[in-house]
Structure formats: C-alpha cells, structure tokens
Amino acid sequence: MCGIVGYVGDKDAYPILINGLRRLEYRGYDSAGVALVHGGSLHVHKCKGKVSDLEAHMEGQERSGSTGIGHTRWATHGPPNDVNAHPHQSSSGDLALIHNGIIENYAAIKEELTHRGHTFLSDTDTEVLVHLIDDVKRTEEVDLPEAVRLALDSVVGAYAIAVVDRNSPDMIVAARKSSPLVIGIGADGEHFLASDATPIVEHTKNVVYLEDGEIAVMEKGSTLKIRNIKNQEKTPFIQELEMHLEALEKGGYDHFMLKEIHEQPRSIRDSMRGRLNLAKGEVVLGGIKDYEQRFVNARRILIVGCGTSWHAGLVGEYLLEDLARISVEVEYASEFRYRDPIIDENDIVIAISQSGETADTLAAIELAKGKGATIIGICNVVGSSIARVTHAGSYTHAGPEIGVASTKAFTAQVTVLTLMSLMIGHKKGTISGSHFYRLLNELESIPDKVEKVLKNEAQIKYIADIYRSASNALYLGRGSSFPVALEGALKLKEISYVHAEGYPAAEMKHGPIALIDEEMPVFVIATKGASYEKVVSNIQEVKARKGKIIAIVTEGDKAVKELADHVIEIPETVDQFVPLLSVVPLQLISYHIAVMLNRNVDQPRNLAKSVTVE
C-alpha cells in the first residue's frame, strides 16, 4: 500500500519518477505527487487522483532536477485530497518526504512539535516525520542522514521513507521498518529507489533490498551507504533481479487481470517446474528439503494468510489432510495475531502471501516464530519481507501480479500446496506408490486442462452478460470447492462491487436459502466426485425456490445440465485438483461482469495490492 519511487543521478528525474509511479499504481491510487530538487530549490507537486491526474497537473510546472522522489497513495490517515497527498514538506521548506506505512505515535510527536512551533497542514501521520527530521537536523546540527537516524529512533510504527533536502541536492536518504524498499544500483553512481523492483528493472538489474532498521544514503556519483538505526555500518548485499520487463506490460490484453487469468497455464507450469519429476516419480521442493522430516513428523500444521491467500490456505487444508493425513487449521492472519494462540516448537506454520508484504501475515509470522514454531513461506515476490523472515519456503513463480484482484497467484499457491501435500504424503507413506504416480501424472496435465477451460471464454462472457445487472450472487461448493466458492464471490465483490457470498452448499439451508428468488444467480461448483450427488440435491433446493443456477460441471455431465440454467464445463480431473480448474470460469465471470459494468478492473475502488497496514 502506497508506492514509493526515487532517483538520483545525471538524468532528468521526472520521467523516471512518473514511469515508476505508473508501475506502482497498483499499490494505491488515491493521490500522487513528486518532489524535485534542482540547484538549491525544492519543488513539490501533488494532487488527488491517479498518476495520470498528476501528469495533467504537471503541465507547465517546473519539472527540472536530477534528484527526485515520488509517491502514489492509499489513504490511511486523512481523506484522499491534495493536501494529504505526499510528498510532505517541512515548515522551513528545506525537506520533502514520502512514506509507506503507519506511524503509530504520530499524535504524541505532533503535539510535541506543535509546542515547538511547527505548523501542520495535513491530516496525515506522515507529516510528523518531515517536521521531526527537520527539527532534529536543526537542534542537533547534524547532516540529513544522521537527522533521519536520530528522528526514527523515537518513531513507533511501520515505514518505508525517502527524504530529499534542497541543501543536499544530490542525495536521497531512505529508511525502512516493516514496509518494503528496494534500491537499484545504476551506472555511473546513479541510484533508483522503489517499493518493489518493478520500476527499477528497466534501468538496472542490480538491486539491494533494504533490511528493517536500515538507513540508506544514495548520493550521485558515490557508492550506496547503509547504516542501521544503531549507527553501525552495513555492507550492501547486491542481488541480480530475475524479473523481465514484458511481465510488467499488458501484452495486448485490455487489462492486467485478463492477462493474468490467461497466464495461468504458464504460471501453474512454472510453479511445478523442476519440482515435479515424472521420470523419477518424485516431488522435490528444494526450499523446504531440510524440513521434510519435520513435516513428516508434524501432528498439526497451521496456515495463515489474508483474502485470496487465505482461500488458497483453505484448499491446502483439504490437500494436506487428504494426501498427507496431517491435521490443519487455517487462520485469518489478522485474527490469529490478536489471539494468544496455542503454538509451540512442534508446530509448523505455513504463511501464504502473493506480495510477501501483508502486514497482518507478517505479524502472525512474528508471533508464531516467537513461540518457537517453524515458519514456511509460500510467496510470489522474491526477496519480499515474508520470504525473508520465514525459516524456509517455496516461491510460487507466478510472475508479477499487477491486477489488484489476485488470480494467477491463487492457482500458483494451490499448486505449491498440492506439491507439498504430495511430497509429504509420499514420504509419510499416506499415498500408495501407484496412486502417487497417477496423481503426479494428473497434476502435470493440469496446465493443458486450464488452457481448455480458457477456451470457453466466449460462453462465459455470454453468461456474464445475462447476469450483469444482478445485485447479489451466491456461490456454493462442497469440500475443496467451498474455498473456490469463497474465492469466486470475493472476485465478484472486489471488482464489480456486486454483493456476493460464498457458502458450503449444505449450509445454504441454514439461512442463506431465504435470499433465493428468481432474481438470484447461484453459482455452484458441481463437478463429478465425492460430493456430487449431495451438490445435485442442493441445486434442486435452489431450483425449487426459482433461483438461477450457473453450474461448473465436469465435461459430459448430464444430471446437472438438466437442472441448471447454464453449465460451464471443465475437463475431468481428480477431486483434489478440481480447484485449479473450477476457479478459472469464476475469475472470468467476474472479470466480464466488471468490464460490462464499466468498473476499473485493475484498480478497483478503495483497494490496493500489498496491504502493508493492518
């Protein structure tokens, strides 16, 4: 949440900042702004709205400067307006600062600084930081890096910040605690800064991920210097980015979400690559190899995550219990962290997160780690905070997910959970040799089957058109199709703003059935498998109340076809792998309804990707 960019070097900073902000806009789009240092002057431009609004606002404004910082905001403290937009400036006009995170003790700092004569213009928590740093710089008579260090020592909360000073025109000082920051090392002493690597990759592949409590000094023509809050010098660890620029473009699709839905055959394959070995009949997850025995011995696994990642965790519960016979509890990270959960060193906690930055998931990890549990991460973003705080883990390899609604990340997470369950089940002997081999074969065919589901898009779009005006929708499923029902409902809610609920199909008669009338579309996952007959009965209950049934069925199904208003066929697969196929039509339905309703599909209102606030 909130995107940060920065540049210091010989080039014009403004175009670099604007391009970077466009890449980071998925992190928040309430307002945007830049600060440019040119000679001894500092120019701050900011406005409510998207990066395109900032660009329009910049027409005719002073854009010179080869040092600059930029910000795209997801509002926490104070409404989205021009004044609350970042960068914020100190009263002296010397400093400008951008921030991602939340300053918890901002009220106390503000009160103290107000007594000392500082005037605040905005409602934000961020503004206190720029006044505080300026105050420390003057009273302690120190340079900017030292003022940042001393000021941050009295700050409680989460932050990734970048500060420029008109008196040090070739310098940016940045710092992080619990919010991400990446520094790009360019040619000839130029430096780039961003919340993630997406704005940096087109300039350089050499990056340094700042650690918590570190302060970086980026100065034109100089090497990067890093100190920690205790003033100890740190050696920057330079890594090479594996990201490719094409992954950050729409590639001919109208929206990132549609591109990402269509990428799923590839992203599922990439999540299995080098891990599923049919020839040898084995699953190897290199990242957790050292923990295999711990999994085999585990009596319980806890899974934590938020939103779509939590739904993937629920699918994981079915997979791990079924294939590896380990008891699993799935928790919302946001709830887990505020209980006093009973965990000890025998527990394994799997933390699932696309971004690897979700604040609640990070906090849940810290809590479980503190109690001695082994923490295994399933993350998509390489080098992200969660990937770094876990003991071990497996990346999902879905590639950058830019649409705010998570799609390919979900199927990649489920793929990794499937591999984990197969690996543990095989080691433990809970899956017999021949069954294991059949499952591996079937899993390998899943990307082709997803491809086949995607070929039904025209029919799915036709169905979307019929239900585009519905103001409510129900999603039903049983077993591992229940989390898929939840995920289908979440997709519709978040990008179409249509109220939708996911339910275990049999629970419907305990309340939600009262909602059903001829206006209500009911999406049912009714594929062949263990609970097929039961789901058919649930469909009959809906039909008896005149609800409209849109069923996801196995190719060749006859019984549901006779009852349902519409069926969408998916290829046959084993029960365990159905979620990887059945979620795809639901993603496409939501996408097309949202487009038909003229919604901003990639940047739905009030949302942002990478929720770095609790």
Q: Write out the catalytic residue numbers.
A: 2, 609
76, 90, 168, 354: which one binds ligand F6R (CB under 6 A): 354
494 belongs to the binding site for ligand F6R (CB under 6 A): yes
Task: Specify the stretch interacting with ligand F6R by CB under 6 A; choose among 150-158, 294-302, 352-360, 590-598.
Answer: 352-360
- Report in angstroms how near the CB of residue 453 gets to ligand F6R at its nearest: 19
Please report, for the chain, how many H helices and E strands are present, in that order.
19, 27
- Report in angstroms how near the CB of residue 324 gets to ligand F6R at its nearest: 23
Q: Give the tokens for residue 192.
A: 């780039």
Cβ-contact 289, 424 below 8 angstroms: no
- Report in angstroms how near the CB of residue 74 gets to ligand F6R at its nearest: 12
- Of 386, 355, 335, nearest to 611 by C-alpha is 355
DSSP secondary structure, 38-89, as one string: ETTEEEEEEEES-HHHHHHHTTTS----SEEEEEEE--SSS-SSTTTSSPEE
- Report in angstroms how near the CB of residue 381 gets to ligand F6R at its nearest: 8
Cβ-contact 372, 344 below 8 angstroms: yes
Cβ-contact 336, 589 below 8 angstroms: no
Q: E strand or H helix at 217, and its extent?
A: strand 214-219
Task: Kindly list the distances between the CA atom of residue 101 and the CA atoms of 73, 151, 161, 387, 611, in Å, as whole numbers in the listed order.
Answer: 10, 16, 9, 19, 10
- Report in angstroms how near the CB of residue 405 gets to ligand F6R at its nearest: 4
355 belongs to the binding site for ligand F6R (CB under 6 A): yes
Q: Say which residues have a Cβ less than 8 Å from residue 559's Cβ, sequence separation at least 6.
A: 536
Task: Kindly list the distances between the CA atom of residue 271 and the CA atoms of 105, 142, 150, 264, 405, in Å, as whole numbers in the listed order.
Answer: 42, 50, 44, 10, 20
Task: Specify the stretch interacting with ligand F6R by CB under 6 A; choose among 223-231, 303-311, 547-555, 562-570.
Answer: 303-311
- Report in angstroms how near the CB of residue 168 gets to ligand F6R at its nearest: 36
Report the residue number, 417 or 611, with the smaller CB distance to ligand F6R. Answer: 611
> Which positions from 535 to 564 touch ligand F6R by CB under 6 A, shown as an x/- string?
------------------------------
- Report in angstroms how near the CB of residue 403 gets to ligand F6R at its nearest: 8
> Which positions from 78 to 97 touch ligand F6R by CB under 6 A, shown as an x/- string?
--------------------
Report the residue number, 88 or 259, with the smaller CB distance to ligand F6R. Answer: 259
Strands 206-209, 521-525: pairing is: unpaired
236 belongs to the binding site for ligand F6R (CB under 6 A): no
Cβ-contact 426, 295 below 8 angstroms: no
353 belongs to the binding site for ligand F6R (CB under 6 A): yes
> Which positions from 590 to 609 touch ligand F6R by CB under 6 A, shown as an x/- string?
--------------------
**CA distance linking residue 89 with residue 105, whole number of Å:** 19
Report the residue number, 237 or 338, with the smaller CB distance to ligand F6R. Answer: 338
- Report in angstroms how near the CB of residue 361 gets to ligand F6R at its nearest: 5
User: How many chain residues are in contact with ligand F6R, going by CB under 6 A?
Assistant: 15
Adjacency order of strands within the sheet including 499-504: 499-504, 472-477, 521-525, 548-554, 566-570
Task: Specify the stretch interacting with ligand F6R by CB under 6 A; choose among 38-46, 354-362, 473-481, 551-559.
Answer: 354-362
What letter represents residue 554's amino acid?
A: T
Q: What is the footprint of ligand F6R within residues 305-324 (CB under 6 A)?
A: 306-309
Task: Kindly list the distances between the CA atom of residue 60 and the CA atoms of 56, 63, 196, 425, in Å, as whole numbers in the listed order.
Answer: 9, 9, 30, 65
> Which positions from 259 to 298 touch ligand F6R by CB under 6 A, shown as an x/- string?
----------------------------------------
Adjacency order of strands within the sheet including 348-353: 327-332, 300-305, 348-353, 374-379, 392-395
Report the residue number, 128 or 365, with the smaller CB distance to ligand F6R. Answer: 365
What letter represents residue 224's amino acid?
A: L
**CA distance linking residue 380 with residue 386, whole number of Å:** 10
Report the residue number, 354 or 374, with the smaller CB distance to ligand F6R. Answer: 354
Q: Give the tokens for residue 579.
A: 């979620």
Report the residue number, 136 or 404, with the smaller CB distance to ligand F6R. Answer: 404
Task: Specify the stretch interacting with ligand F6R by CB under 6 A; choose among 28-36, 349-357, 427-435, 448-456.
Answer: 349-357
**CA distance linking residue 89 with residue 127, whole number of Å:** 7
Taking the mean position of all CA atoms in its chain, how far away is CA 426?
31
Report the residue number, 361 or 527, with the smaller CB distance to ligand F6R. Answer: 361
- Report in angstroms how near the CB of residue 608 gets to ligand F6R at its nearest: 9
Q: Say which residues have a Cβ less than 8 Å from residue 22's Cβ, sequence separation at least 6.
A: 51
- Report in angstroms how near the CB of residue 568 gets to ligand F6R at its nearest: 21
Work out the number of other CB atoms within 10 angstroms of the CB of residue 128.
28
Task: Specify the stretch interacting with ligand F6R by CB under 6 A; choose among 28-36, 175-183, 240-248, 301-309.
Answer: 301-309
Report the residue number, 146 or 260, with the smaller CB distance to ligand F6R. Answer: 260
Q: What is the footprint of ligand F6R within residues 405-444 (CB under 6 A)?
A: 405-406
576 belongs to the binding site for ligand F6R (CB under 6 A): no
Kindly list the residues in this chain that would bind ligand F6R in the complex (CB under 6 A): 306-309, 353-355, 358, 361, 405-406, 490, 494, 610-611
